[in-house]
Chains A and B, each alone.
Chain A
């Protein structure tokens, strides 16, 4: 490996790194991709159709597998042994989900794929809060078009909703029909004047290249051996490998960017997780796609070349403006859904129908006490029984025997779960830095998180819960405890939605941002960031599609520079 002259070295193989590898290798550049986790191939390891009864503890979550036994996540979760992170004293809780596998979190993500809208790139210009991006929606739109076609996004026809961009003809695959329970949920929302729309999902409804169409069974969180649900490991890395230009090294835990005497990036230092040996790898350019947390950590731990606080951190911006998504949830039991004909409701694992944020005009009129919105995700119907689902179905009367069985049959399919995914405005209390004392097992300083939800997020969470309880009430149902009406209690923990972004944001100049509008470091011009770290705002729309679009654009720019000899 050391002998091969690499043009570009990419750190991380998830959405950002996988996308960068795809573009750069196709442009003829020799790429070395370093992944901290082990090798992983969904075709060999995905437990398709495997039943809960075949798994330990019916597949229920444990500290070893916090999202259940069959969750694709390898080697990680909320905690990784000997690779700690800390939460500062006095901070609100923060959780950090990390896998240790090729493809990273794309192997288990929800696949909800919504474009950011025009407002989302210029939030400060609209309401004076947060910050504007150095790019507009129109500049990014062509990259969304390309990404949707490449990874395969299914969705409905143009809807014309405000700040919820439709895709041009030919970008999307057809959406599947709604699930039966969604029809009634849609009627309840409609009765409140709130429209629903087909979900945008990175799940194929038609074959795409080697990848097969979804067969509407087996949860996407397990990964997808047929490639229907997009993962870097099926949708990007195989194609990049096929060029012959990609070298992947797994179990390579990168901890710093190395600099040459001229102050340019010469490569990175990493630890082989299996041998514990330190190594250097060299390339003409470096792309950090390790995820917003790990990318910030690498930058802050890169203290050579006079960067006393880490690369690009002269103004203290690395780690700043850390954001997540606002989440709330409630389950409802809906008697009106009892007795519907027996159907197979598996479908895609995620909802086929969602609710885009509907309140832009109300916010413009000053009718809402929070400035930024949320969309609604849902599930329900005749889901594969799990311990949780069965608990929600139990009527609490303590029935046994035939009466119990009859009650459960009657109520099965009548529970729905509503969840909000809302915008968070960046604030000064949410950031990560290096813990001054704690190091990981290799002696590398670890991240310390600082978190405090702002009032806008809490008010938004309160609104979401009130909306959901009204929807459940309008459907004649009852909410299933526990749930909270107070947004302060209902709101998810920092990091819990696993949408952490914004620790190395892009901007117009080096004093207010870490990278330029193409993800190119202001401080080290052959160093690029291509993951959620570059985000300037965290709209309600789930970030992965935008990470892919931005990474593709960054990689394309990098390839242009390389071809012009300007690296």
Chain B
């Protein structure tokens, strides 16, 4: 099976190669990763943080498992999803790629499943990058190649076998980004501050809700209960 993908294929049209790779992979289905001999990662030996960790001074006891190249790929992906925009930091500015490394390194079954999926997917990106004929792997490819690969892989309509990988990694990157203080600011979360009292909805809010209720035809069948 490994003979099917000839990485030395010279100068094919990059787009055509990607389409071909995708079609091939789809045809092969889930077995594809294994046929290529991609095993993802080794089983975890590390311990978790236990059932009574220090909640005030948290620490992560397990070692990180991503290789430098894999971590570099994740960083590229994270910043493709959340690039720096003006004063708003990029995903890697707030360490989202580090979170992904921490996440896939965690010695718990659900996280180990993510490690399998994500490391296999990263391997797939390397393959796609090489198939363009302009890169040895994804992490060291030029920005144009990286973007082309990610556009393809991230197309929700695509039937690439990388779809589960992309869906999961994208979800983790989104969650990882918005659970930072920068993410709070970006999305508009203003809580986690002590208040003297909880404010009643302002007239503006009450009016907005009333408008919405009217538009939705939500007629009160109970009568006003002040």
Contacts and interface: CB of A to CB of B under 8 A. Distances in A.
A413 B188 CA distance: 9
Contacts of A336: 212, 215-216
A76 B52 CA distance: 8
| Most chain A CB inside 10 Å of its own CB: which residue of B171, B201, B202 | B201
Interface string B168-189: 0011101110111101101111
Interface stretch (A56-64, A419-427, A444-452, A456-464): A56-64
B1 interface: no
A191 B56 contact: no
B198 A347 contact: yes
B68 interface: no
Given A384-B191, A387-B179, A412-B189, A57 B106 contact: yes
Interface residues of A, number: 85
| Most chain A CB inside 10 Å of its own CB: which residue of B83, B110, B200, B208 | B208
A216 interface: yes
A58 B99 CA distance: 8
A192 B221 contact: yes
A341 interface: yes
A178 B201 contact: yes
B179 A53 contact: yes
B69 interface: no
B8 interface: no
| Most chain B CB inside 10 Å of its own CB: which residue of A74, A187, A385, A413 | A385
Interface in A321-344: 336-337, 339-344
Contact of A47 (B56, B85, B190, B225): B56
A423 to B, nearest CB: 23
A57 B85 contact: no
A309 B180 CA distance: 55
Contacts of B156: 396-398
Nearest to A476: B216
A190 interface: yes
Given A384-B192, A400-B80, A401-B83, A51 B181 contact: yes
| Most chain B CB inside 10 Å of its own CB: which residue of A337, A344, A352 | A344
Interface string B205-216: 110110011011
B221 to A, nearest CB: 4
A216 B194 contact: yes
A385 B196 CA distance: 23
A315 interface: no
Given A58-B179, A62-B48, A336-B212, A398 B189 contact: no
A215 B194 contact: yes
A49 B55 CA distance: 11
A398 B170 contact: yes
| Most chain A CB inside 10 Å of its own CB: which residue of B58, B154, B198, B199 | B198
A385 B184 contact: yes
Contacts of A215: 194-196
Interface in B24-67: 48-53, 55-56, 58-60
Contacts of B195: 215-217, 344
Interface string A335-371: 0110111111111100010000000000000000000
Nearest to B48: A64
A54 interface: yes
B222 A340 contact: no
A180 B193 CA distance: 18
Contacts of A352: 198
Contacts of B187: 385, 408-409, 412
A525 interface: no
A65 interface: yes
Interface in B81-125: 81-83, 85, 88, 94, 99, 102-103, 106, 108-111
Interface string B138-163: 00000000000000001110000000
Contacts of A64: 48-51, 53, 108
Given A65-B53, A404-B81, A341 B60 contact: no
Given A63-B48, A64-B50, A64-B108, A45 B221 contact: no
Contact of A398 (B155, B186, B212, B215): B155
Contact of A180 (B94, B192, B201, B225): B201
A176 interface: yes
Interface in A13-55: 38, 45-47, 49-55
Given A56-B102, A75-B51, A188-B218, A382 B189 contact: yes
Interface in A280-302: none
Nearest to A381: B191
Nearest to B223: A190
B58 to A, nearest CB: 5
A391 interface: yes
Interface string A191-234: 11111000000000000000000011110001000000000000
B3 interface: no
Given A336-B216, A397-B156, A398-B154, A63 B108 contact: yes
A354 B3 CA distance: 63
B53 A63 contact: no
B219 interface: yes
Contacts of A80: 51
Contacts of A346: 191-192
A101 to B, nearest CB: 8
A177 interface: yes
B13 interface: no
Contacts of B184: 384-385
A184 B48 contact: no
Given A192-B221, A397-B156, A344 B102 contact: no
Nearest to A54: B58
A69 B196 contact: no
Nearest to B94: A53
Nearest to B151: A400
A77 B175 contact: no
A564 interface: no
Interface of A: 38, 45-47, 49-59, 62-65, 69-70, 74-77, 80-81, 176-180, 183-184, 187-188, 190-195, 215-218, 222, 336-337, 339-348, 352, 382-388, 390-391, 394, 396-398, 400-402, 404-405, 408-409, 412-413, 474-476
26 contacts: A50-B56, A50-B58, A53-B179, A54-B58, A56-B53, A59-B179, A62-B106, A64-B53, A75-B51, A76-B51, A176-B197, A187-B218, A190-B220, A215-B195, A215-B196, A216-B195, A336-B215, A344-B193, A382-B188, A384-B189, A384-B191, A387-B175, A390-B171, A394-B171, A400-B81, A409-B186
